[in-house]
Structure 1
Amino acid sequence: MRTVYRVLAYVIALEVLVQGAMITFAVFGLRHWIDEGGVLDETIVQNHAEGFGEVVGFRLHATNEQVIVPAIAVLLLISAFCAKVPKAVMWAVIVLLSVVVQVLLGLFALDAPALGILHGINGILLFAFALVAARSADVSGAGPLRASRDAADLGRSGVIRSTR
């Protein structure tokens, strides 16, 4: 279960990158569409107008955010209970709460676009939380936190003390 937990956490981090890529794809496509004289309205978004294929990025971003990422976050929380990883449940809850906040910010930003700033910031935090969750399941037990503690021990005493 430790591996399942780690993989799900990394998948959430990857999904954040996909989210960024999809919305960027759509926005740059929109800019090009407008520069070429196109006009964006709901009809264009719903019908995927010819010449603005990048509009699919908006739909992929919304579907990914509202369905796929929350489902993975719930699976991460479920796996955390069986993973036998220190603080796994805590990190899974933090990730899940960040996902809920992300979805709500995305939905409310449609009526209050300034919330898009917080949506972007929370996305970066979600990415970081997912990576921390994944790294906490490092099977070697000698991840970066261990290495930094060893370096700190070396700095204080000049000798690394093994705790193995």
Structure 2
Amino acid sequence: MQDILAVVTIVVTGVMVGVEFAVAVFVNPILDRLPDNGGLNARSDGARVLGRAMPVWYFSSLVLGAVWAGVSWGEDGAGYVVAGAALLVSSIVLSVLLLVPTNSRSAKWSAEGPPEDWREQLGRWDRYHYLRVAVIVLAFALFVVALV
């Protein structure tokens, strides 16, 4: 049963990491290169859509990691699971404090029009997002090491 929990945790976390990595490395840079600020509306829509889906995904990954940590406490690899879950906690804190405020504002920009400093705001969001991706990639890697 514990192995099934580990695999589910890794799959759920891994797919989340894949989505966030793709947004950081491929999707947003492609959207930013569209002419006439064409990517702004797409990023605004992405903020709305992913802004609803990702919190559920982050918390699901954390809950699965925490349950796995509890079930495996005292066994080989449990420290990796605890460290991975702790990194997911830090990614949620990072998200709430630094990413969500800009994301919430940018979700409204296609309807209201962007502020003059929208490029700077999105650039700052992207930098924080790279940091968050690094944190969740490390959490994912720790989960995989714990299973192996």
The verdict on a shared fold, with TM-score over 0.5 as the criterion, is yes
CA distance in 1, matches of 2:22, 2:39: 23
Q: Given that residues 86 and 136 in structure 1 are in contact (C-alpha distance below 8 angstroms), is that contact kept between their aligned partners in structure 2?
A: yes
Tell me the C-alpha RMSD between the 2 structures.
Answer: 3.2
Map 1:20-99 → 2, pairs under 5 A: 20-22=21-23, 24-25=26-27, 28-29=30-31, 31-32=33-34, 35=35, 40=40, 56-83=45-72, 84=75, 85-99=77-91
Cα distance in 1 between the residues matched to 2:37 and 2:3 = 53
Aligned residue runs from structure 1 range 105-124, under 5 A: 105-110=98-103, 113=121, 114=124, 116-124=126-134
Q: Which amino acid is the alignment partner of residue 10 of structure 2?
A: A
| Identity %, equivalent residues | 16
Rounded Cα–Cα distance in structure 1 between residues aligned with 2:67 and 2:37: 49
Normalised TM-score (structure 1): 0.57
Q: Distance in 2 between matches of 1:122 and 1:37?
A: 25
Bigger radius of gyration: 1
1:98 CA displacement: 2.8
CA distance in 2, matches of 1:5, 1:108: 33
In structure 1, the residue matched to 2:12 is 11
Residue 103 of structure 1 is matched in structure 2 by 95
Partner Cα separation in structure 1 for residue 140 and residue 7 of structure 2? 9
Distance (Å, rounded) in 1 between the aligned partners of 2:127 and 2:47: 17
Cα deviations by residue, 1:89-145 (Å, 9 ceiling, x for unpaired): 52243233233134222114457833541331131121122111221121xxxxxxx
Name the CA shift for 1:39/1:109 in 2 (closer, same or farther; >3 Å): closer
Q: Could you tell me whether the CA contact under 8 Å between 2:81 and 2:143 is conserved in 1?
A: no
Instruction: Decide whether aligned partners of structure 1 residues 55 and 2 sit closer, same or farther in structure 2, where only a CA change above 3 A counts.
Output: same
Distance 1:30 1:19 in 2: 16
Structure 1 or 2: more helix by fraction: 2
The CA distance in 2 between the partners of 1:117 and 1:26, in whole Å, is: 12
Equivalent pairs, count: 125
Contact 2:65 2:82 in 1 (8 A): no
Looking at both structures, which has the greater relative contact order when contacts are Cα pairs under 8 Å and sequence separation is at least 6? Answer: 2
